[in-house]
Structure 1
Amino acid sequence: MNTLDIEGLRITLPGIARPVLDGVDLTVAEGETVALVGESGSGKTLTSRSALRLLPPGALTEGTVAVAGDDVLTMNAEQVRALRTGTAAMIFQDPRAAINPLRRIGDFLTEGVVLTKAMNQADATARATELLQAVGVDNSVLGKYPSQVSGGMLQRVMIAAALMGDPSLLLADEPTTALDVTTQAEVVALLGRLQQRFGTGLLFVTHDLDLAATISDRVYVMYAGRIVESGPAHGLFAHPRHPYTAALLASTPRLDAPTGRLAAIDGQPPDLRTTLTGCPFAPRCLLATEVCDQQKPETRSATGRPEHRAACHHSDRLERNAAADA
C-alpha cells in the first residue's frame, strides 16, 4: 500500500493565469524514500504541503491526494487535525521559523498529541524523551527555548516532533538547506536510520541533485508545476530522458568536471501570469522544435524500462544521443 498517492493534482489560485500545479502524479510506498527535485518555484513545496492540506487561501483543487488510502482533499476539519497529528508529518526547511520562540521545546514536542488527547502528558513526555534520544539529543533540551540550541540540534528536534504521532508518511521540505555541510550529512543519515527503524515513507523535497541521487529510491523531476520525468534514482540520473533533467545534471558542480565556466540553463522558468501552450521548457530547450511550442507532451515510458517516464516529445532522441556519446 502507498503511504502517499497523488493523482491528477491540479491547483489554481485567484489571479493566477495558469495552474500552479498541473496534473501532478506521485506515489510514495511504505518505507520508500522518494525525492522531488527542481528549481525554486517549480511547485515542490506546494506538492508536499498538499498531503497535509496546507494550501494557500482561495486554492481550487482537482484530483486526489490520498494519505494511507484516505483522500486529504475531501476530509473534514476533524479528520485533517487527526491526519496532521498522526498519519503524516512535515519537517520544515527552517526550524527556527517553525517553532514558537516563546515556548519551551518540551511544550512544542508534546502539545500536539496532548491537545488531541492521543496521549496524556506523562506518556507524551516519555515519547518525546525516547525520540530525542533516537535523534541524538539529550533530553535536557526539553526545558530550553529554541534560541538556546544550535540550528543543527533544532533540526533534530523538528525530526523528533514529526515522529511524535508515529506517522506513516514523513514530508521533508529541504530540511538541510540552512545547515552546514557536516550537519547536513548527519541529518540525512539520521533520517535514513529513523526511516528504517519506523518503516516510514519519506518524500524528500530538494534542489540538490547529488543528495537526491544518494538517498532516494525513486526521483520525480518537477518543472513549472508539472512532473517532467520520474523513475528509479540510478537510472534517471545515469540516463535522463528529459532535457531539463539533463541540463540540471550538467549544471551541477563536480570535482572531476573539466575546467572552465559551469554550464547553465539559459532563460527563466515561465511566469505564473502567462498561460502555457505546449511544453513549458521549450523556450529554454536546445532540442525544442515547432511541436514543442504547440502541443503538451504526453508522459511516456522508456523502452524496456516502464518505470522510467518522461514528458518530452524528444525523449527518445535524447536517449539515443546519450547512448552514442557513451
Structure 2
Amino acid sequence: MNPPPTPTSLPAPALEVRGLRLTLPGAPRPVLDGVDLTVGPGETVALVGESGSGKSLTSRSALGLLPPGAVAEGAVLVEGEDVLTAPPERLRALRTGSVAMVFQDPRAALNPLRRIGDFLTEAARSARSAGAADEAAVTARAVELLRAVGLDDTALRRYPGQVSGGMLQRVVIAAALMGDPALLLADEPTTALDVTTQAEVIALLARLRESFRTGLLFVTHDLDLAAAIGDRVCVMYAGRIVETGPADVLFEHPRHPYTAALLASTPRLTTPGGRLSAIPGQPPDPRTALTGCAFAARCPLATGICTETAPEALPAPGRTDHLTACHHSDRLAAAAVEGAVADA
C-alpha cells in the first residue's frame, strides 16, 4: 500500500498586508487603519478609491517608502519577508529584486539627459558589479524586455524626449521587470496617457502578468479600469478597505453602500444623457478623530451603530472570498442605494 502523498507547501503570496496601521506625526487618527490585503503569484488585485483614501500609501508600504516620521504597525510581507522590519541593506535588495513600481508619470521617472538604455540597465549594473560578460548579459536582458513590451532595441539609444508618453510608460514597465520581481506595483500608471494608449498599457500589463507570473497591485480611482484588469478588487475609503472580492462578483453585487454609490455615479453608455448620481457630503477630515464607520455621514443606510462602532469585514453568505465592512450589508440592494443616493 502506497503512503499518502506528502502535502506540498503553497508559495508565499507576492504581497500580504496584515493589519497595517500608519500614523503620521500629530495626526489624530491613522491614515491607514487596519488594512488587510493579499496579492497571490500571478494575480492582479485592483485597489480602488477616491483621492486621499490611502491607495498610494498602501502600495508604497510594500517598498518601505513611508512618510517621514510615520509610525507603522502590522506587517507588510513581500514573498514572506516583512518590509517594515527589514534593515536598509535588505530593503535596497528588495527594491531591485522582489518588488518594483510603475508610477503615474513616466517622464518623471527618467533623467532627460540620459539615454533610455542607461535607465534600463543602471540598477542591474549596480546590483551585479558588472564586468564585461555581465554587461553583455544586462544589455541582452534589456533588449529582451523591450521586445516583451512591444519596442525594439533602437529605443536603447534614444533620449526620453524623443519618444511618446505611451512608449515611455512601456520603457518604465520594462525597467520594473529587469529584476524579475515577484510583485509589481502600478500606481495609476495610465493617468497621464490618452484613452487609446491606456487600453494598450492595460492589455500589456495583463499579458506580462501571465507571462512572468508576477503579482500585480494596480492602484486606480477608475472603476472601469479596475474591472478590466483586476482578478479581485479592493475598495478603499478613508484609510480602510471597506469591500473586497472577485471583480465580477463585486461589480454585479456590491455589498457596501460606498461601492454601490461609486457604481451609480459612473457614466454609462446604456443611459446617454441621464443624470449622474452624486455621493452627498465629503470624506471625513483627516485632522479629526473618527469613530464608527468612516462612510456613515454619507450613507443612506446609516443607523446609530454606524457612528459608534467600526464594522468588521465579514464574508457574504455562501462566499468566503467576498468581504464587506458594513453593519447593514445584508440590507443592501444596489438599486435601492442608487435611488437613495440620487434622492439625497
TM-score w.r.t. length of structure 1: 0.96
Superposed, 1:132-147 pairs within 5 Å as 132-147=146-161
Which amino acid letter does the alignment assign opposite residue 81 of structure 1? R
Any gaps of 5 or more consecutive residues in structure 2? Answer: 1-11, 340-344
1:117 CA displacement: 1.4
Correspondence for 1:79: 90
The answer to whether 1:206 aligns with 2:206 is no
Larger Cα Rg: Structure 1 or Structure 2? 2
- Hey, what does 1:292 align to over in structure 2? 306
**Partner Cα separation in structure 1 for residue 204 and residue 287 of structure 2:** 41
Cα RMSD (Å): 1.6
The 8 Å contact of residues 260 and 334 in structure 2, kept in 1 or not, is answered as no
What are the residue-to-residue correspondences of 1:11-160 with 2, within 5 Å? Answer: 11-117=22-128, 120-160=134-174
Instruction: Look up the equivalent residue of 1:221 and give its one-letter code.
Output: V
Percent of residue pairs identical: 71
Take 1:320 and 1:90, find their aligned partners in 2: how far apart are those partners? 35
Match of 2:176 among 144, 149, 162: 162
Selected match of 1:231 from 238, 241, 245: 245
Secondary structure at the aligned position of 1:231 is classed as strand
Q: Equivalent of 1:263, from 273, 277, 282?
A: 277
CA separation of 1:303/1:108 partners in 2, compared to 1, >3 Å: closer, same or farther?
A: same
Number of matched residues?
A: 324
Which residue matches 1:182?
A: 196
Aligned-residue offset at 1:226: 0.3
The 4+ residue runs of structure 1 with deviation greater than 3 A are: 319-323
Q: What amino acid is aligned across from residue 76 of structure 1 in structure 2?
A: P
CA distance in 1, matches of 2:335, 2:228: 25
Letter in 2 for 1:98: A
Separation in 2 of the partners of 1:199 and 1:322? 40
Structure 2 CA distance for partners of 1:118 and 1:218, relative to 1, 3 Å:
farther
Q: Which of residues 257, 278, 294 is equivalent to 2:292?
A: 278
1:261 positional shift: 2.1
CA gap of 1:295–1:74, structure 2 versus 1, over 3 A, is same
- Determine whether 1:191 maps to 2:202: no
Q: Is residue 2:262 matched to residue 1:251?
A: no
Larger mean CA deviation between 250-259 and 30-39 belongs to: 250-259
Shift of 1:321: 6.9
Q: CA deviation at 1:183?
A: 0.5
Question: Is 1:218 the equivalent of 2:229?
Answer: no
Name the residue aligned to 2:332: 318
Q: Distance in 1 between matches of 2:58 and 2:129?
A: 28
| Displacement of 1:257 | 2.2
Alpha-carbon distance in structure 2 between the residues aligned to 1:102 and 1:310: 49
Q: Secondary structure at the match of 2:271?
A: coil
Partner of 2:9: none
Cα shift at 1:322: 6.3
Separation in structure 1 between the aligned mates of residue 129 and residue 170 of structure 2, nearest angstrom: 23
State how far apart, in whole Å, the 2-side matches of 1:121 and 1:73 are: 33
Contact 1:239 1:322 survives alignment (8 Å): no
Stretches of structure 1 that go unaligned for 5 or more consecutive residues are none
The amino acid that maps onto 2:119 is F
TM-score (norm. length: structure 2): 0.91
